Structure 1
Amino acid sequence: MMPVNRDFSRCAALSLRILFVLAGSVHSQQGSDSRVMDNITVRQGETVLLRCEQGGAMTHTAWLNRSSILYAGNDKWSVDPRVSLVALNQMEFTIKIEDVDMMDEGQYICAVQTSSQPRTTSVHILVQVPPKIINLSRDIVVNEGSNVTLRCQASGKPEPSISWNYISNSGGLASEDEYLEITSISRQRAGTYECTAVNDIGKDVQTVDITVNYAPAVAEGRDVGVTLGQRGVLECEADAVPEADFEWYKDDRRIFNGLDGMEIVSTGSQSKLTFFNASESDFGNYTCVAINKLGNSNTSFLLYFQDGSGSAMAVHAHTCLFLIAFVSFLLHL
């Protein structure tokens, strides 16, 4: 017959005693003393101390969590490195749990076996958790007039409240719910939206960007006068998302960069048509067309002759003056 390990026997006997005490407290057996301490509220990540008064002729004592033994006297039964013994004497039996997490929430029981009767003291740990946004809509790109729904969900204890704020342009509260719905979105509502999750412990803030695509809108063209042989520039500006591509035309003929001494430079929302050495053939009507995938828009310009004194006249102004003089001569015949 194999010999029985003495330590194992003592361990088993102690386990039976502790569980007996626990069972006695649960079923309120006659002759046992059961006490309930106030709940302990602790924030996630903090340290909690569990104190149990001793007193009397103590024979065995233990701290248990959900019927699992954490400490039996000086002996640590828990494999959790966060749990440690602080004090064990005739006055108190105190253990410490560091870096508390949600899994530590629940009932803890101090079981004491004295010479007279078993005694249990129970306490419930409540763990508070700061908010954490766990489900957030991604940045989105939509066409103007579309319906948009943004979602923001957060965990935490107590349960966090959620709000949406529009932080671009004028800003302001957009919603007090985890969902933000924008019907028929306009270009003015593009920008950054901020989701805030708040509870008694803290808050978490994250943002979502909405890009609104819309067709180009071109600013009205401004006519330009230029002296022969001098430099002239026509400037075309378009508001569009995505940015517009530009095309230039003289009458119905498209102009390409680098031809006939002209240069086209387009950057961002602006396009410039430059004449480096204006000639009579350059004067006339021009059209700027701004195009993106949602549509196009255009505006017209007049490049006209301007003499050195700064007064503007058409390219063939001398012809007009000749005709006026000729008519005046005929009237005096």
Structure 2
Amino acid sequence: LNPIFNLSSLNLSHAGDGRSRLRQEDSPPRIIEHPSDLIVSKGEPATLNCKAEGRPTPTVEWYKDGERVETDRENPRSHRMLLPSGSLFFLRIVHGRRSKPDDGNYVCIARNYLGEAVSRNASLEVACKFDIPLSSSGRNGSFRCPSCIVEEW
């Protein structure tokens, strides 16, 4: 919908009937806090921030790799919560074979009857943990580093 209202179309017969009131306070959604890229360890909590303004207050939905993200509002057993601010909170980051992993590219979309606003993309990466056993046994080693040759121009 176009928020521009043509006042020349009003006449006195419209006065007081409630159908021609211009709601100047209404505005389309606008993202005022975009999500940022995150690197999080498996099993740890995380938050992708998104904050939008508009009137009426926009609803916020999240999409991961183009698919809508299911939150606790649709599934009370979900490990993802849509916060009142519009941010997406992960109780724990999932990354495994048994469930769909959380890593991917996320975007939030804020909507009201005047339109929608789309945030910047944010990537969520799961940090890999490596357990490298330390050993005090073995042979000494040496490394050879090639010298750097600089030529003048």
TM-score range, shorter chain: 0.5 to 0.7
Alignment of 1:217-232 (within 5 A): none
Higher helix share: 1
User: Is the Cα contact below 8 Å between 1:196 and 1:203 reproduced in 2?
Assistant: yes
Residue 124 in structure 1 maps to residue 2 in structure 2: no
* CA deviation after TM superposition for structure 1 residue 166, in Å: 1.8
Partner of residue 78, structure 2: none
Alignment of 1:269-284 (within 5 A): none
Partner of residue 215, structure 1: 129
Counterpart CA distance in 1 for 2:131 and 2:114 is 49
Give the % identical residues.
23
Residue 163 in structure 1 maps to residue 49 in structure 2: no
User: Is the Cα contact below 8 Å between 2:5 and 2:22 reproduced in 1?
Assistant: no
TM-score by length of 1: 0.30
Match of 2:109 among 178, 196, 206: 196
Q: Indicate how the Cα distance of structure 1 residues 137 and 254 shifts in structure 2: closer, same or farther if over 3 A, else same.
A: farther
Which amino acid letter does the alignment assign opposite residue 180 of structure 1?
Answer: L
User: Is the Cα contact below 8 Å between 1:197 and 1:204 reproduced in 2?
Assistant: yes
* CA deviation after TM superposition for structure 1 residue 194, in Å: 1.5
Residue 173 in structure 1 maps to residue 69 in structure 2: yes
Q: Indicate how the Cα distance of structure 1 residues 43 and 49 shifts in structure 2: closer, same or farther if over 3 A, else same.
A: same
Q: Using CA pairs below 8 Å that are at least 6 residues apart, which structure has the higher relative contact order?
A: 2
* CA deviation after TM superposition for structure 1 residue 210, in Å: 2.0
> Greater CA radius of gyration, 1 or 2?
1
Counterpart CA distance in 2 for 1:255 and 1:184 is 41
Counterpart CA distance in 2 for 1:205 and 1:124 is 29
Q: Indicate how the Cα distance of structure 1 residues 53 and 190 shifts in structure 2: closer, same or farther if over 3 A, else same.
A: closer
Counterpart CA distance in 1 for 2:5 and 2:142 is 74
* CA deviation after TM superposition for structure 1 residue 198, in Å: 1.7
| Range moving further from structure 2, 194-203 or 121-130 | 121-130
User: Is the Cα contact below 8 Å between 1:174 and 1:180 reproduced in 2?
Assistant: no
Residue 49 in structure 1 maps to residue 17 in structure 2: no
TM-score by length of 2: 0.57
Partner of residue 147, structure 1: 45
User: 1:31-63 CA deviation, whole Å, 9 max, x = no partner?
Assistant: xxxxxxxxxxx843x242143359xxxxxxxxx
User: Is the Cα contact below 8 Å between 2:36 and 2:49 reproduced in 1?
Assistant: no
User: Is the Cα contact below 8 Å between 1:190 and 1:211 reproduced in 2?
Assistant: yes
User: Is the Cα contact below 8 Å between 2:40 and 2:125 reproduced in 1?
Assistant: yes
User: 1:125-162 CA deviation, whole Å, 9 max, x = no partner?
Assistant: 12442221123343223233211123322222333221
Counterpart CA distance in 2 for 1:215 and 1:159 is 41
Alignment of 1:306-321 (within 5 A): none
User: 1:136-193 CA deviation, whole Å, 9 max, x = no partner?
Assistant: 343223233211123322222333221112218xx54233632322122144422221
Q: Indicate how the Cα distance of structure 1 residues 217 and 201 shifts in structure 2: closer, same or farther if over 3 A, else same.
A: farther
Partner of residue 184, structure 1: 92
Counterpart CA distance in 2 for 1:258 and 1:209 is 38
Counterpart CA distance in 1 for 2:52 and 2:38 is 20
* CA deviation after TM superposition for structure 1 residue 208, in Å: 2.3
* CA deviation after TM superposition for structure 1 residue 214, in Å: 2.1
Aligned length: 118
Unpaired segments of 5 or more residues in structure 2? 74-81, 96-100, 147-153
Higher strand share: 1
Counterpart CA distance in 2 for 1:167 and 1:191 is 6
SS in structure 1 at match of 2:63: strand
